[in-house]
Amino acid sequence: MTAETYILVSKNHQPPHRVDVTYSTFPDGDTHCLIKDLPAIKDCDVLIVHSLYPAQNNQLIKLFLLLGLLHDEGVKSVNVCVPYLPYARQDRRHVSGEAVSIDTICRLLTSMGCAQLYTFDCHFMKGASTVTRNGLIIRNFSLGPLLISYCRRKIGHPGIDILSPDIGAQYLTGGDKSMHKKRGSYAALDSGDSYRHIAALKSDHIAIAHDTVVLVDDMISTGSTMLHAIENLRARGIKHIYCAVTHGLFIADCYEKLAALTEETIFSDTVSHINALPFVDVQLATQIIPNWLRK
Ligand code: R5P
């Protein structure tokens, strides 16, 4: 999808039309948010389509400014579509005293007038479903089936094992083969970094029948999970490895590392990238917008 923010506006459930939002930056770094065509949004239901990644903190402020503006202009309702929801991995407390960050994000969105959030493969939701978290209705869609059918077509023969690198991503495969991943404790929190390294990743309990394996996960961030999983499969003699994920964040040089070790890394355009598969706009048109208009 495009990294641009836009809003869709609809009156009385009629087909929506698009209204542009313009962001600019003041010399001191403050963000400026503008809708030029204000009459177009009067008394309308609004769906904001906005990317929250990269630069998630900055992108959140942009979203909050837009929600504030729509509130001031008295629109009828506001829903938001963010294809990738950052902070969703901070959905529980691993050590005492740390913030459950996604709860704060949900609380802020609710208090800013967002009634429903549409997203894809939200980390804590595990499949197409709806939850209410801190007053915010989150409607989650899964790209797992699309990723897998794309891989099957691409590979072109039935001799494939489809695995997830951890139990949390098993829902994406539609099967029951997942590796066991164990994260360690936080390293270096005092130095300003927070990361829990992978302590172990095992697949001995899984029978692998073919020499082509597709590893399916919700996301690649540092690439550490996939790199451990690939190493594990190589040690078992698997020749052809594909990675398929919904969200490709590709921190540092992990995209290049994965490209060197796999047949292909396949990912959707919930985060924009030149090699991303264009899934989001189709899902918006066929799933999200019809759902929003039914409300
Ligand atoms: C973890 O539970 C997720 O499903 C992903 O496996 C993980 O977040 C990927 O992160 P990284 O690429 O840094 O290993």
Tell me which of 220, 253, 255, 270 to substitute to probe ligand 1's pocket, judged by most ligand atoms within 8 Å of the beta carbon.
220
Q: Per-residue pLDDT averaged across 123-134, rounded?
A: 96
Ligand 1 atom 2, closest CA: 168
How is residue 262 written in tokens? 């796999």
**Half-sphere exposure at residue 202, Cβ-oriented, CA atoms within 13 angstroms:** 6
Specify whether the CB–CB gap between 60 and 52 falls below 8 A: yes
Helix runs in 73-163, H state only: 101-111, 144-155
Question: Ligand 1 — pocket residues by CB below 6 A?
Answer: 89, 165-166, 168-169, 217-225
Ligand 1 atom 10, closest CA: 221
Q: Per-residue pLDDT averaged across 183-206, rounded?
A: 86
Ligand 1 atom 5, closest CA: 219
CA distance 227 to 60: 30
How many angstroms does the Cα of residue 79 sit away from the middle of ligand 1? 28
pLDDT digits (tens, 9 = 90+) for 38-54: 999 999 999 999 999 99
CA distance 166 to 148: 17
pLDDT digits (tens, 9 = 90+) for 223-270: 999 999 999 999 999 999 999 999 999 999 999 999 999 999 999 999
Per-residue pLDDT band for 155 (boundaries 50, 70, 90) equals: very high
How many angstroms does the Cα of residue 135 sit away from the middle of ligand 1? 27
Ligand 1 atom 1, closest CA: 168
Output the pLDDT for position 48: 98
How many angstroms does the Cα of residue 225 sit away from the middle of ligand 1? 6
Cα 127 to the center of its chain, rounded Å: 12
How many angstroms does the Cα of residue 46 sit away from the middle of ligand 1? 33
How many angstroms does the Cα of residue 172 sit away from the middle of ligand 1? 14
